[in-house]
């Protein structure tokens, strides 16, 4: 039965690979490349980055978006002064198509597209170097009584089948080795990541794949029966990918990256993500986040109560993380308490005490959100836009937000739009000519905390949408 299952998986993979190999790349190559370059990116004020959800590039750890690639392109975004739009794309062929079409500006992950795509893409200076290693099961650890021995050099791959992501540098390398060694079956799989293929090898569904040594280090404790010791190619550069039709963007990025790699911040990022001495605990938690669709231990409660306000549960989770980092007993200096950091007056109004369970805390927090939603239903008819006003009011109180709406009307801005309208008017409440205006009821407030609060909750929500299914 197990052999039949393995056979079905392999044959389906080969069939899909043949179809994609015939169609996917040729379609991409025929597509006219987008001409979007640095000027257009700056004009739209956002850099669109495609990355991968895996144990080193981009993942959730205790509700916080993390990853070497994530923090690197966040540093780049700060340098360029651009907002980041992050999308998760694990398929190399899809990355290629997105770059060509202009739907993303760069691809930032720990694996590379094959060099034979160089007529379409160009790469940045290397972020770092990583060996490419063979992934195989170790029969000694598994106590398998078979004649199958560990492959210790390239020549021993003769007569074997190896599975790699389509259009990847691994695929290109294995085709080169096949030309040299002969009789190696190389199967390029679309929509399969390095991480997925390693998992299939661990399950016994596939015999061999190749991944880079960066990811291999994160897999060693997770899959102790796998062997990653056979190096197929040393020092493969890990670099960002761009369209060839974006030379100004590439030049700007390379100038920054060359300098940034000399910085203490870059050294700290390498230490944070690739120092193996303290990696096991983090790697285990990453695995839970990636494989189990997990944000916090309160996910089931958050999902239950988010239905009462018609919110995506991941948005409510982002709000809770922002307030308490999912700590149900935390008390702020101002007396805000619990997962949703409700102030004493709000707790009293809704009948909640400091012994409330996490579920009671979330239930009361959602009641308060419903109250705020009712407050702004007539003021902000668009429910998507209203969420931003609710988040702002949750942080600072509805009175200051209504004041900011009044200022927006007086300043010729849209009182029903948050970004670049009411948010900037909230900041202006720190100016005497505004907080002393007779129509402004709630007086002086800096507003910067609330301005940042809304952005941070929504940014994290976008990360949660990238990594965790609804």
Q: Tell me: the pLDDT tens digits for 2-45?
A: 455 554 455 555 554 444 444 444 444 445 778 899 999 999 99
Q: Would you state the pLDDT for residue 453? A: 97
Distances (CA, A) of 94 to 12, 38, 119: 20, 22, 17
Structural domain range at position 189 = 129-237
Q: How many CA atoms lie within 13 A of 177 on its CB side?
A: 23
Contact 135, 208 (CB under 8 A): yes
Residue 295 in this model has a pLDDT that exceeds 70 = yes
Final residue belonging to a domain, choices 192, 218, 237 = 237
Spell 384-394 as b/e; 16+ CB within 10 A means b.
ebbbbbbbbbb
Query: Which CATH number characterizes residue 347's domain?
Result: 1.10.530.10
Q: Is the pLDDT of residue 143 over 90?
A: no
For residue 437, being part of any structural domain is answered with: yes
> What is residue 215's predicted lDDT score, i.e. its pLDDT?
83
- Compute the average pLDDT of residues 170-184: 88
Token duo for residue 448: 């910067």
Tens-place pLDDT, residues 247-289: 999 999 999 999 999 999 999 998 888 876 655 445 544 554 5
User: Does residue 315 sit within a domain?
Assistant: yes
For the record, the structure tokens of 423 come out as: 């948010």
pLDDT at 412 over 80: yes
Q: Are residues 45 and 78 in the same domain?
A: yes
What is the per-residue pLDDT for 118? 65
Position 110 scores a pLDDT of: 82
> Are residues 188 and 195 in contact, defined by beta-carbon separation less than 8 angstroms?
no
Distance CA(358)–CA(398), nearest Å, equals: 25
Whether the per-residue pLDDT at 49 is higher than 50: the answer is: yes
Do residues 101 and 83 share a domain?
yes
Residue 180 corresponds to which tokens in the numbers above? 């040299």
Which pLDDT score, from 0 to 100, does residue 114 have?
66
Task: Answer left, alpha or beta for residue 322, where phi above 0 means left and psi between -120 and 50 means alpha.
Answer: alpha
- Domain end (from 290, 320, 351): 290
Mean pLDDT score across all residues of the chain: 87
Structural domain includes residue 396? yes
Report CA 353 to chain centroid distance, whole Å.
37
Q: What percent of the chain is predicted at pLDDT more than 70?
A: 87
Note the maximum CA span of the chain. 88
Same domain, yes or no: 435 and 405: yes
Position 15 in a domain: no
Does one domain contain both 116 and 252?
Answer: yes
Same domain, 363 and 462: yes
Residue 233 has pLDDT above 80, yes or no: yes
- Best-predicted range by mean pLDDT (134-148, 197-211, 286-300, 364-378): 364-378
Cα distance between residue 318 and residue 64, in whole Å: 9
Looking at residue 163, which CATH number applies to its domain? 3.40.190.10
What six digits make up the tokens of 163? 């599975």
Contact of 227 with 137, CB cutoff 8 Å: yes
> What is the per-residue pLDDT across 98-115, written as a single tens digit (0 to 9) for each?
999 999 999 998 877 666
Q: Is the pLDDT of residue 240 over 90?
A: yes
Residue 282, pLDDT score: 56
Phi-psi region of 455 (alpha: psi -120 to 50; beta: other; left: phi over 0): alpha
The pLDDT of residue 329 is 94
337 and 454, same domain (yes or no): yes
- Identify the residue whose tokens are 């001495």: 277
Q: At a CB cut-off of 8 Å and minimum separation 6, what does 456 contact?
A: 322
Q: Is residue 63 predicted with pLDDT exceeding 60? A: yes
437: confidence class by pLDDT, cuts 50, 70, 90: very high
- Whether residue 49 sits in one domain with residue 112: yes
Instruction: Mention every residue, 6+ apart, whose C-beta is less than 8 A from residue 390.
Output: 369, 372, 373, 376
Find the mean pLDDT for residues 209-213: 91
* 343 shares a domain with 463: yes
Query: Do both 231 and 269 map to the same domain?
Result: no
Tell me, yes or no, whether 13 lies in a domain: no
pLDDT band at 125 (very low <50, low <70, confident <90, very high): very high
Residue 139 binned pLDDT confidence (cut-offs 50, 70, 90): confident
- Res 46: pLDDT: 95
Can you give the pLDDT at residue 10? 52
Please give the structure tokens belonging to residue 234.
Answer: 């040393």
Whether the pLDDT of residue 299 is over 90: the answer is: yes
Q: Are residues 45 and 98 in the same domain?
A: yes
Digit-coded pLDDT (tens) for 384-399 = 999 999 999 999 999 9
What does the pLDDT read at residue 19? 43
| C-alpha distances in Å from residue 129, one per residue of 89, 137, 335 | 22, 25, 49
- Is the residue at 228 inside a domain? yes
- Rounded CA gap, 448 and 22, in Å? 54
Chain CA centroid to CA 95, Å: 15
Q: How far apart are CA 54 and CA 91, in angstroms?
A: 12
CA 366 from chain centre, in angstroms, equals 27
Instruction: Please check whether residues 360 and 451 belong to one and the same domain.
Output: yes
Residues 307 and 410 occupy one common structural domain: yes
Q: Return d(Cα 373, Cα 370) in angstroms, integer.
A: 5
Residue 1 lies in a domain: no
DSSP string for residues in 27-74? HHHHSPPP---HHHHHHHTEEEEEE--BTTTBEEETTEEE-HHHHHHH
Residue 403 has pLDDT above 80, yes or no: yes
- Residue 14 counted as domain residue: no
CA distance 370 to 350: 12
Instruction: Tell me what pLDDT residue 195 has.
Output: 85
Q: What is the 8-class DSSP label of residue 222?
A: T
359, 308 in Cβ contact below 8 A?
no
Q: In total, how many domains does the chain have?
A: 3
DSSP states along 91-144: -HHHHHHHHHHTS-SEEESSS-B-GGGTTTEEE-S-SEEEEEEEEEE-HHHHT-
| Cα→Cα distances 251→95, 200, 401, Å | 21, 39, 43
Here the tokens at position 215 are 């990811």
Q: What is the pLDDT of residues 326-362, one digit of tens each?
A: 999 999 988 999 999 999 999 999 999 888 999 999 9
- Residue-wise DSSP of 333-373: TT--BTTTTB-HHHHHHHT--TT--HHHHHHHHHHHHHHHH
């Amino acid at each position: 039965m197990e052999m039949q299952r393995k056979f079905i998986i392999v044959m389906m993979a080969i069939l899909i690979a043949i179809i994609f190999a015939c169609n996917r790349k040729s379609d991409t190559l025929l597509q006219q490349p987008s001409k979007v370059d640095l000027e257009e990116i700056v004009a739209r004020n956002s850099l669109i980055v495609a990355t991968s959800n895996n144990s080193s590039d981009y993942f959730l750890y205790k509700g916080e978006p993390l990853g070497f690639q994530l923090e690197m392109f966040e540093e780049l975004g700060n340098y360029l002064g651009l907002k980041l739009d992050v999308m998760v794309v694990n398929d190399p062929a899809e990355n290629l198509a997105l770059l060509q079409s202009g739907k993303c500006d760069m691809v930032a992950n720990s694996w590379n597209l094959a060099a034979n795509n160089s007529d379409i893409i160009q790469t940045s200076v290397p972020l770092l170097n990583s060996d490419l290693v063979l992934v195989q099961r170790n029969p000694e650890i598994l106590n398998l009584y078979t004649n199958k021995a560990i492959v210790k050099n390239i020549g021993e791959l003769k007569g074997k089948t190896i599975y790699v992501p389509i259009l990847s540098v691994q695929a290109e390398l294995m085709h080169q080795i096949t030309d040299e060694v002969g009789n190696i079956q190389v199967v390029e799989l679309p929509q399969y990541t390095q991480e997925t293929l390693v998992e299939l090898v661990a399950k016994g569904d596939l015999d061999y794949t190749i991944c880079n040594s960066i990811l291999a280090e994160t897999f060693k404790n997770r899959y102790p029966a796998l062997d990653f010791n056979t190096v197929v190619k040393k020092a493969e550069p890990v670099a960002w990918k761009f369209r060839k039709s974006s030379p100004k963007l590439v030049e700007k990025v390379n100038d920054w990256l060359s300098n940034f790699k000399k910085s203490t911040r870059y050294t700290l990022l390498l230490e944070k993500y690739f120092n193996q001495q303290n990696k096991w605990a983090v790697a285990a938690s990453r695995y839970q986040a990636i494989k189990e669709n997990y944000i916090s231990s309160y996910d089931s409660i958050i999902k239950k109560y988010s239905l009462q306000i018609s919110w995506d549960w991941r948005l409510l989770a982002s709000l809770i993380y922002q307030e308490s980092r999912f700590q149900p007993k935390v008390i702020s200096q101002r007396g805000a308490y619990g997962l949703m950091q409700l102030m004493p007056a709000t707790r009293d109004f809704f009948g909640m005490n400091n012994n409330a369970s996490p579920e009671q805390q979330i239930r009361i927090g959602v009641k308060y959100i419903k109250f705020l939603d009712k407050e702004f239903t007539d003021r902000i008819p668009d429910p998507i836009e209203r969420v931003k006003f609710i988040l702002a009011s949750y942080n600072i109180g509805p009175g200051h937000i209504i004041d900011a709406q009044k200022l927006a009307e007086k300043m010729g801005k849209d009182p029903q739009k948050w970004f670049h309208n009411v948010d900037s008017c909230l900041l202006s409440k720190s100016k005497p000519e505004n907080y002393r205006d007779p129509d402004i009821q709630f007086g002086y407030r800096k507003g910067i905390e609330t301005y940042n609060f809304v952005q941070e909750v929504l940014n994290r929500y976008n990360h949660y949408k990238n990594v965790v299914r609804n």
